[in-house]
Copies of this chain bind each other. A is one copy, B any other.
Amino acid sequence: MDSRGHSNGRELETKEMDIRSLSSSRNNTQCIHKVGVPPKQNLFKEFKARVKETFFADDPLRTFKDQPKSQKLVLGIQVIFPIFEWGRSYNLTKFRGDIIAGLTIASLCIPQDIGYAKLANLAPQYGLYSSFVPPLVYALMGSSRDIAIGPVAVVSLLLGTLLQKEIDYHTHPEEYLRLAFTATFFAGITQATLGILRLGFLIDFLSHAAIVGFMGGAAITIALQQLKGFLGIQKFTKKTDIISVMRSVFEAAHHGWNWQTIVIGVAFLCFLLLAKYIGKKNKNLFWVPAIAPLISVILSTFFVYITHVDQKGVAIVKHIEKGINPSSVKQIYFTGDNLLKGFRIGAVAGMIALTEAIAIGRTFATMKDYQLDGNKEMVALGTMNVIGSMTSCYVATGSFSRSAVNYMSGCQTAVSNIVMSCVVFLTLEFITPLFKYTPNAILAVIIISAVINLIDIQAAILLWKIDKFDFVACLGAFFGVIFASVEIGLLIAVSISFAKILLQVTRPRVAVLGKIPRTTVYRNTQQYPEATRVPGILIVRVDSAIYFSNSNYIKERILRWLADEEEQKKKAYSTKTQFLIVEMSPVTDIDTSGIHALEELYRNLQKRDIQLVLANPGPVVIDKLHASNLANLIGENHIFLTVAEAVSSCSPKLVEEA
């Protein structure tokens, strides 16, 4: 590109070119240009370029170029610990923003953490632990300025479901906890490995549509789980599908519901929803819904403490371990069967956690217009979870709701996470005993009001409007989660996403082109009904790379267009088709099967006295046409730069029939 950098003039226009002038049928004179064959590249170079484009598409080493060694070391440290980069320009104004944001998300995260730990079938302190260490690690290594780190609802539910399937937390709490740490460890390893191997693009395979459905389903599943705390039910199913849960709820209806619990629950749910509504109506009051959960906790705890309703069956938190995270290195399973189980669970939970964190990171990076390196983020999140697993934390990631609050409270850097972490530290050290009388119903209510945000009906409607297939993927994931389980929903989502890609590759569109009046432009006759077909010439465009998975279909589809055309012709007594022009612009690549299919097409057409003509094959395609000698078979003079040139060259050769 360097040599063409200063190409602002038309000086190249006078360059000698291989031009064969031919008189065209309609226009006065036109130049026929040769299709360019890109310069033959060194095999190794080509391979290197391909690898670079696949794994280093964002050119992460760009800043390292042409720098002295010492500078490279500094840059290297800054790459791994971005805090050294942004830390140097940190100032008091930024700190003011961060401290307000940090305090706000801390007030939101403390009650949520306790509730989310329950979703993962863990004691409440593990939720708080996970909001203490991971945010600190992320602040050092992460590059997003807005993300709020900690346990999140969906990952907690997923982890809880997967762990419960292996070990029952009622009968074997010790082993359950150990497996949870093992899974967290491997979630971190998975995340970091994906980042280091630059395989970050793998998370793109979970499509937006699938995520919308999955999140919506998970939100409903989580909300349903909260009915236990909300209604004060003692015996509750361990399954998560809607049918089991509803059966559990109605079976408990006669004797298992506790009216005092329900009253507390309903009252505070109204309070939280009102706060949410106020926050939505007036963007300046965003802090109202943010601190409402903490206020609910304080008020309800105080209420239970003075009224002693806990003796009337209102379930309370009872006990939260005091003090900061103990070490859990020795609790991780590094051998045996549980290692494998932990790895499997961790890999799934880690991927979902990544998907959520990267989506959040990208959203806010776009809003504030800064770059985010997905692979670097993965390394940061992975390291954070590995360290977390050794300090009694379970899988932490970026939280949608808290990150939004963080952003709106005016956070400037990851320092807001450090502030939050400090508040959680103080809570763990001093305040946990105060949570003793907090009713479980409040935690349930807080979770319900938090996960409601995950149900994005607007997005689903947009999916329906834009792409029906995406909508089906969304519905599939949604119903999979609520009627089967989180894993099944996930599996459905991924399968549908893949099926879509494969379908497009297997059955690409093949369109018939016509000439748009008063131009030399040829376009799809379905899209442009005014486009006219050229008699005696059939022009088709193949809308995909020609690969083994579609080469047969494309060949047969083209022949079918031809058959249709012939049938049409027979009725109208018009000129027999003598040229078949294949517009190759959208054909970005062709493989050996594709070359074979083209060759078969050519031979088949020859038998019918129809000449195959190619228009505008791309660099890769023309290269392979030459390598396979097919270009010679078809004839160089039957390969044109544009459809217009192909038509103007073919038209005079048409033989009129009697």
Say yes or no: B501 contacts A505, CB within 8 Å. Answer: yes
Shortest distance between the CB of A568 and any CB in chain B (Å): 4
Say yes or no: A509 contacts B588, CB within 8 Å. Answer: yes
> CB-CB < 8 A to A607: which residues of B?
369
| Chain A 456-483 residues near chain B, CB threshold 8 A | 462-463, 465-470
Say yes or no: A545 contacts B585, CB within 8 Å. Answer: no
Does A124 sit within 8 A of B, measured CB to CB? no
Which one of B7, B53, B209, B585 contacts A507 once the chains associate, using CB atoms below 8 Å? B53
Does A500 sit within 8 A of B, measured CB to CB? yes
Does A90 sit within 8 A of B, measured CB to CB? no
Say yes or no: A209 contacts B8, CB within 8 Å. Answer: no
Instruction: Determine the distance from Cα of A633 to Cα of B519 in the docked complex, in whole angstroms.
Output: 28
Give the nearest-CB partner of A474 in chain B: B592
Given known pairs A465-B627, A501-B502, A532-B4, the reply for A618 and B543 (CB within 8 Å) is yes
Instruction: Determine the distance from Cα of A560 to Cα of B58 in the docked complex, in whole angstroms.
Output: 8
Shortest distance between the CB of A210 and any CB in chain B (Å): 8
Does A38 sit within 8 A of B, measured CB to CB? yes
Shortest distance between the CB of A124 and any CB in chain B (Å): 37
Say yes or no: A535 contacts B8, CB within 8 Å. Answer: yes
> CB-CB < 8 A to A31: which residues of B?
518-519
Of A92-100, A247-255, A570-578, the segment with at least 4 beta carbons within 8 Å of chain B is A570-578
Which one of B362, B517, B571 contacts A10 once the chains associate, using CB atoms below 8 Å? B517
What does the 1/0 interface line of A404-426 toward B look like (CB < 8 Å)? 00000000000000000000000
Say yes or no: A548 contacts B509, CB within 8 Å. Answer: no
Given known pairs A201-B506, A553-B201, the reply for A532 and B13 (CB within 8 Å) is yes
Shortest distance between the CB of A537 and any CB in chain B (Å): 11
> CB-CB < 8 A to A523: which residues of B?
36, 616, 641
Does A619 sit within 8 A of B, measured CB to CB? yes
Say yes or no: A43 contacts B591, CB within 8 Å. Answer: no
Shortest distance between the CB of A329 and any CB in chain B (Å): 37
Does A279 sit within 8 A of B, measured CB to CB? no
Given known pairs A507-B57, A516-B641, A592-B470, the reply for A500 and B547 (CB within 8 Å) is yes
Instruction: Determine the distance from Cα of A503 to Cα of B362 in the docked complex, in whole angstroms.
Output: 22
Say yes or no: A618 contacts B467, CB within 8 Å. Answer: no
Shortest distance between the CB of A627 and any CB in chain B (Å): 5
Shortest distance between the CB of A646 and any CB in chain B (Å): 12
Say yes or no: A557 contacts B641, CB within 8 Å. Answer: no
Say yes or no: A591 contacts B552, CB within 8 Å. Answer: no
What does the 1/0 interface line of A539-554 toward B look like (CB < 8 Å)? 0000111011111110
Say yes or no: A207 contacts B593, CB within 8 Å. Answer: yes
Say yes or no: A466 contacts B535, CB within 8 Å. Answer: no
Say yes or no: B586 contacts A586, CB within 8 Å. Answer: yes
Say yes or no: B36 contacts A588, CB within 8 Å. Answer: no
Give the nearest-CB partner of A568 in chain B: B5
Given known pairs A532-B12, A533-B7, A607-B369, the reply for A468 and B624 (CB within 8 Å) is no
> CB-CB < 8 A to A518: which residues of B?
13, 31
Which one of B13, B204, B575 contacts A552 once the chains associate, using CB atoms below 8 Å? B204
Given known pairs A530-B15, A564-B1, the reply for A591 and B209 (CB within 8 Å) is yes
Say yes or no: B574 contacts A57, CB within 8 Å. Answer: no
> CB-CB < 8 A to A341: which residues of B?
none
Shortest distance between the CB of A620 and any CB in chain B (Å): 8
Does A589 sit within 8 A of B, measured CB to CB? yes
Does A524 sit within 8 A of B, measured CB to CB? yes
* Residue among A527, A547, A603 with max Cβ neighbours from chain B (10 Å): A527
Give the nearest-CB partner of A471 in chain B: B592
Shortest distance between the CB of A347 and any CB in chain B (Å): 18
> CB-CB < 8 A to A38: which residues of B?
526-527
Say yes or no: B54 contacts A5, CB within 8 Å. Answer: no
Shortest distance between the CB of A502 and any CB in chain B (Å): 7
> CB-CB < 8 A to A592: which residues of B?
208-209, 462-463, 466-467, 470
What does the 1/0 interface line of A289-326 toward B look like (CB < 8 Å)? 00000000000000000000000000000000000000
Does A59 sit within 8 A of B, measured CB to CB? yes
Does A28 sit within 8 A of B, measured CB to CB? no
Say yes or no: B548 contacts A591, CB within 8 Å. Answer: no
What does the 1/0 interface line of A1-27 toward B look like (CB < 8 Å)? 100111111101111010000000000
Shortest distance between the CB of A26 and any CB in chain B (Å): 9
* Residue among A37, A54, A501, A529 with max Cβ neighbours from chain B (10 Å): A501
> CB-CB < 8 A to A651: which residues of B?
none
Instruction: Determine the distance from Cα of A591 to Cα of B209 in the docked complex, in whole angstroms.
Output: 9
What does the 1/0 interface line of A350-370 toward B look like (CB < 8 Å)? 000000000000100010010
Say yes or no: A548 contacts B208, CB within 8 Å. Answer: yes
> CB-CB < 8 A to A591: which residues of B?
207-209, 466-467, 469-470, 500
> CB-CB < 8 A to A430: which residues of B?
none
> CB-CB < 8 A to A429: which residues of B?
none
Does A604 sit within 8 A of B, measured CB to CB? yes
> CB-CB < 8 A to A620: which residues of B?
509
* Residue among A204, A469, A508, A616 with max Cβ neighbours from chain B (10 Å): A204
> CB-CB < 8 A to A595: which residues of B?
466
Does A521 sit within 8 A of B, measured CB to CB? yes
Give the nearest-CB partner of A212 in chain B: B592
Does A259 sit within 8 A of B, measured CB to CB? no
> CB-CB < 8 A to A7: which residues of B?
514, 532-533, 535
Shortest distance between the CB of A34 and any CB in chain B (Å): 9
> CB-CB < 8 A to A1: which residues of B?
512, 525, 564, 568
| Chain A 575-608 residues near chain B, CB threshold 8 A | 575, 585-586, 588-589, 591-593, 595-596, 600, 603-604, 607
Give the nearest-CB partner of A560 in chain B: B59
Does A628 sit within 8 A of B, measured CB to CB? yes
Does A277 sit within 8 A of B, measured CB to CB? no
What are the 6 closest A-B residue pairs judged by CB atoms, nearest first?
A: A207-B548, A586-B586, A13-B517, A8-B535, A527-B619, A543-B588
Q: What are 14 A-to-B residue pairs whose CB atoms are below 8 Å?
A: A1-B568, A5-B568, A6-B572, A13-B532, A36-B523, A57-B560, A59-B560, A201-B553, A208-B592, A466-B628, A516-B641, A519-B642, A524-B618, A544-B588
